[in-house]
Structure 1
Amino acid sequence: MKRIILASLLSALILPQLAHSNDKSINFDIDKYRTHLKTLASDEYGGRAPLSAGEALTINYIETEFKKLGLQPGFGNQYLQPVPLAKVTADQNMTLKIGSAKLTSGSEFTARTQQMNDKVSLNNSEVVFVGYGINAPEYSWNDYQGIDVKGKTVIVLVNDPGFATQNPDLFKGNAMTYYGRWTYKYEEAARQGAKAVFIVHETAPAAYGWGVVENSNTGSKFTLVDDKNNQNQVGVMGWIQHKNAQQIFADAGLDYETEKQRAAKAGFKARPLNTTANLTLNNTIERAKSYNVMALLPGSERADEMVVMHAHWDHLGTNIDDKGVKHIFNGAVDNASGVAGVLELARMFTLKAKTKPFKRSILFSSFTAEETGLIGAQHFAKQPPLPTKKIVSFLNIDGMNVNDSVDYILRYGEGVSEMEYYLDNAAKQQSRFVKGDPKPQNGLMYRSDHFALAQEGVPGLMFMSLGDNDPDYIAHKYHKEADDYDPNWTLGGVRQDLGLIADILATLANNKDWPKWLEESDFKNRRAQDGR
């Protein structure tokens, strides 16, 4: 830790902190930032869905701004990295039948697939309750032990046993692990051979209401396509309302709450519900390419070492309801605010580099399809412009504080990597304190693009402010139409946070440090394979 802080302080002596520099040419330009934010979050861009007219407008806007700054192409000789996507749209005129329960799509359940099949059917598929659906050897936990779910429908609980019990010695207690994420539930069920997975929604352990589930899963969804047309993935990826799960368990002669408590204890055994599931999922599949956008500021001494400054550009797009009414999800905070931040940082750093070049290269990036499951980031992580062992760190903005400044900065995760020391030092430069994630049970560190890079061993930081000075945001704006640009935003928090991020980015771009992972994890093991 002393070595890192010393490196940061030495770098600060060599390179003036961008946030506090007297050089007006690199000051934060609130008008430019506001223009970017207002444009990207406008109705004209239609909610910036991948493979839409809004994507074309968005990636052209970002690429044009990078070119104006004189930045080099970030992917070979191109600013755009093609991402092969399939757009899968499930016909919502469907009914899920489990036993005597007949559930209505949208209001009571959601179902989708990433398999490249026009139709996926559950025909009297046996239903099994597998608790949290976790197989975690390091925690001596396997919900699938002793049960064969091949070709069956499994019902799983959201989050993990640590949250359910609040036992700090079970998993990570209140803080969600990756085993609690919905993405993991589907991945593990596929490994176990299940045909379908339905996650029971409860607001507290999920960290969001049913409206988020419905909005995020009933429209078109996007997926990368492998050479097996995704046939190794689970056939049906779904959610069920809590009240409907209670009914299904009651029909099986079981009490849902009792079974949930049983599932949170070591030694849990999966339980067949002695009922069957029936569903026909009709899909429209369109194959196309979406794009990541990236631009390079080359380093003067170690150009083959790269720091990435990032924000995803996509949001939920436009939906038309059954009455023909258009609903545009503009995603102003999530994440037009972050893209605007990357563009402004790119301007600030490009100007500074004209008088004092940075030693390492900086890649300014904006990826597609984060909202569908970090798809653009996953593609980048597998096909980066430089090997991941050459990427020092990945700094990710996923929603900025568009209101007044605050005296703290949020840290997602604790004791994860040495990047936390950089955050500590930069916060001190602004006389701010580092505040732990107020809702670690939400697992936010697994829910944004930096996580795809972490899986390849690259440590990073996520900067997310979804509600500073706006306690109404999560409840009524997050992933809803109400996440719109507001001309009354002061942007004081943006000015403040971009200064802090600039501090960290500048330090990493000039020192020789390779931040390490602190806790034992697959991330640490992956980095060790690269000799870092």
Structure 2
Amino acid sequence: MTTTLSKVITATVLLTLFGCSEPAPENNGQQTDSQPAVDLKNVHQLIETLASDQFLGRGPLTEGETLTINYLADEYKKLGLTGAYKSEFLQPVTMAKLTPDQNMTLKIGDLSFNAGTDFTARTQQINETINVSDSEVVFVGYGINAPEYQWNDFADIDVTGKTIVVLVNDPGFATQDESLFTGNAMTYYGRWTYKYEEGARQGAKAVLIVHETAPAAYPWGVVESSNTGSKYTLIDDEKNASDIPVMGWIDEQAANDIFAQAGLDYQTEKAKALSPDFKATPLNAKANLTLNSEISQAQSHNVVAQLTGSEQPDEYIVIGAHWDHFGTKQTDDGVKIYNGAVDNASGSAATVEIARILSKIHQQTPFKRSIIFANFTAEETGLIGSQQFATGDIVPTKQMVALLNIDGMNVLDGVDYILQYGKGMSEMENYLADAAKAQGRHVKMDPRPQNGLFFRSDHFSLAKQGVPSLLFMSLGDTDPDYIAHKYHKEADDYSPQWSLGGVKQDIELIVDIATKLANNGDWPAWQTDSDFKKKRQQERP
């Protein structure tokens, strides 16, 4: 899920379609003779501890982080696992904290726009001042360059140094045409992260995404709150100089005004962008903006543990979950602690329990491949920990067979289905279907594919580097009250009344998949043509 508040809205809209869970079949979750039983008492204890007030909401770069990472590392040590980062259990993640100064004005031609209400602007470059000076403004449709879809909005135009205006989402959603991109289901080309990445590749100075609520899946208020405060980013050797200098949004009214100033109608030009024959349109104006940012650096940590394979120790299955939540917030009523019991103390607890089960199996019959258990930092602020993991300073991504990522579990009773995010993405979906069938469950597709949840959690950092991945997420499909009153709120607290039936099911399912991959020598492939597939083919021809 990439920005925190956009994830709140995305999860909220899931509620209307998830509905109530169906009862699990009677044989659901039966333990096989070869697989140690899930210790639900242990899982309860792990969640209760991680989601306790003592851990202060597990905020990165706080005392809560120190308590959390040490607790998780100690749990892995008790199981006899080894540290995966240079034999240590903690992988350093150096982050920059950037806070854009909201005392700025965007000028386009004769128009002036106010920060927050009309536009937002931020950067990931480690640069305290970025000047956009007399930068030509160009409308480039959806800002997509996708050869596999025979689509290039940048054909026949050089946008180097220019400010480009782009539409959110992709043409498939706009038309609901299943033959165009993937229809209603969002592709990565529809994500705002892609728009900035492609703008940087094209050499643009600034990218301004036009916000509209339906294709964005959240209102302007989410854009404003998510982009006007502090954000975190990793730092590369060039201080992120290859990133787009200015990452911006403009509201729909601002877009109407900019197009009208150029003698154009926004709705008409937007409709033209639905054709693969679309040509970029100059908006006959120049943009000016001074973006000042306060920048600081600090070090967080991923927790990483390992079982070493007996025959192919340099081939890895990764099982992950983010450990962080929102920490504490000072309010007029005092300090509020956001404990994040479901999101994602439940996932972190599951990785430890899965490690316990797999280590017992490994002691009896060693796995051929290695297995890494990774608890990532700063997922809620932009997938930062998993991005660091994906750089390969522990294991090169070409040696990672697959990632099984947990981001919120069903802490209530078991159900007769497992949710699948993304369709036709990789052969990992076959493993999911087979493991679910063995439990007497069926695969249920993500009911809100237009929100692109496949691109919004830690597994996506690995997918971008070519590693096939599965997302295990259950936020509201069995407890409608969770989304409405608990998700990303102070009320996401642990309850001893939870049956953890769904947690048991999914732990057993993940153990099944991990066990197969750790022994069968398979390298699951990407199916849909994408940058992920290209990356894998480059690393593993």
Say which of 299, 304, 307 aligns to 2:314. 304
How far apart are residue 194 of structure 1 and its match?
Answer: 1.8
How far apart are residue 187 of structure 1 and its match?
Answer: 0.8
Q: Counterpart of 1:311 in 2: which secondary structure?
A: strand
Conserved 8 A contact 2:105-2:289: yes
After TM superposition, the structure 1 = structure 2 runs for residues 281-430 of structure 1, keeping only pairs within 5 Å, are 281-318=291-328, 329-430=338-439
| Structure 1 outlier segments of 4+, above 6 Å | 22-25
Q: Distance in 2 between matches of 1:92 and 1:320?
A: 22
Establish whether residue 450 from structure 1 lines up as the match of residue 459 from structure 2.
Answer: yes
- Please give the root-mean-square deviation of Cα atoms over the aligned residues, in Å: 3.1
Q: Distance in 2 between matches of 1:86 and 1:407?
A: 43
Distance 1:424 1:384, change over 3 A: farther
Distance 1:284 1:395, change over 3 A: same
How far apart are residue 226 of structure 1 and its match?
Answer: 1.8
Q: Distance in 1 between matches of 2:100 and 2:538?
A: 41
Q: Distance in 1 between matches of 2:208 and 2:150?
A: 24
Match of 1:127 in 2: 137
Q: Is 67-76 or 464-473 further displaced after alignment?
A: 464-473
Q: Distance in 1 between matches of 2:350 and 2:456?
A: 19
Match of 1:439 in 2: 448
Match of 1:498 in 2: 507
How far apart are residue 423 of structure 1 and its match?
Answer: 0.8
Match of 1:237 in 2: 247
Establish whether residue 91 from structure 1 lines up as the match of residue 101 from structure 2.
Answer: yes
Establish whether residue 79 from structure 1 lines up as the match of residue 97 from structure 2.
Answer: no
Say which of 69, 79, 87 aligns to 1:69. 79
After TM superposition, the structure 1 = structure 2 runs for residues 122-271 of structure 1, keeping only pairs within 5 Å, are 122-271=132-281
Conserved 8 A contact 1:18-1:502: no
How far apart are residue 103 of structure 1 and its match?
Answer: 4.8
1:54-77 superposed Cα distances (whole Å, 9 cap, x missing partner): 322222222122112221111221
Unpaired runs of 5+ residues, structure 1, are: 1-16
How far apart are residue 251 of structure 1 and its match?
Answer: 4.9
Distance 1:192 1:319, change over 3 A: farther
Q: Is 243-252 or 381-390 further displaced after alignment?
A: 243-252
1:122-161 superposed Cα distances (whole Å, 9 cap, x missing partner): 3454433222111222322222234443333222211111
1:157-204 superposed Cα distances (whole Å, 9 cap, x missing partner): 111111111111211222221111111111111122222222222333
How far apart are residue 99 of structure 1 and its match?
Answer: 5.7
Q: Distance in 2 between matches of 1:250 and 1:312?
A: 46
Q: Distance in 2 between matches of 1:103 and 1:34?
A: 51
Match of 2:16 in 1: none
Distance 1:505 1:25, change over 3 A: closer
Q: Is 424-433 or 241-250 further displaced after alignment?
A: 241-250
Match of 2:46 in 1: 36
Q: Distance in 2 between matches of 1:263 and 1:372?
A: 32
TM-score, normalisation: structure 1: 0.87
How far apart are residue 349 of structure 1 and its match?
Answer: 2.0
Distance 1:379 1:189, change over 3 A: same
Establish whether residue 56 from structure 1 lines up as the match of residue 69 from structure 2.
Answer: no
Code of the aligned partner of 1:221 = K
Q: Is 410-419 or 92-101 further displaced after alignment?
A: 92-101
Conserved 8 A contact 1:311-1:365: yes
Distance 1:196 1:522, change over 3 A: closer
How far apart are residue 462 of structure 1 and its match?
Answer: 1.3
Q: Distance in 2 between matches of 1:180 and 1:528?
A: 23
Q: Distance in 1 between matches of 2:369 and 2:158?
A: 52
How far apart are residue 78 of structure 1 and its match?
Answer: 0.8
Conserved 8 A contact 2:159-2:204: yes
Conserved 8 A contact 1:405-1:492: yes
Code of the aligned partner of 1:412 = Y
Conserved 8 A contact 2:148-2:529: no
Conserved 8 A contact 1:130-1:271: yes
Residue-pair matches, total = 515
Q: Counterpart of 1:496 in 2: which secondary structure?
A: helix
How far apart are residue 278 of structure 1 and its match?
Answer: 4.2
Conserved 8 A contact 1:215-1:479: no
Conserved 8 A contact 1:216-1:316: no
Q: Distance in 1 between matches of 2:106 and 2:538?
A: 46
Distance 1:439 1:25, change over 3 A: closer
TM-score, normalisation: structure 2: 0.85
Q: Distance in 2 between matches of 1:42 and 1:185?
A: 39
Q: Counterpart of 1:357 in 2: which secondary structure?
A: coil
How far apart are residue 493 of structure 1 and its match?
Answer: 1.8
Q: Distance in 2 between matches of 1:332 and 1:210?
A: 29
Distance 1:253 1:318, change over 3 A: farther
How far apart are residue 433 of structure 1 and its match?
Answer: 0.8
How far apart are residue 365 of structure 1 and its match?
Answer: 0.7
Task: Determine what percentage of the aligned residue pairs are the same residue.
Answer: 62
Conserved 8 A contact 1:153-1:196: yes
Conserved 8 A contact 1:18-1:27: no
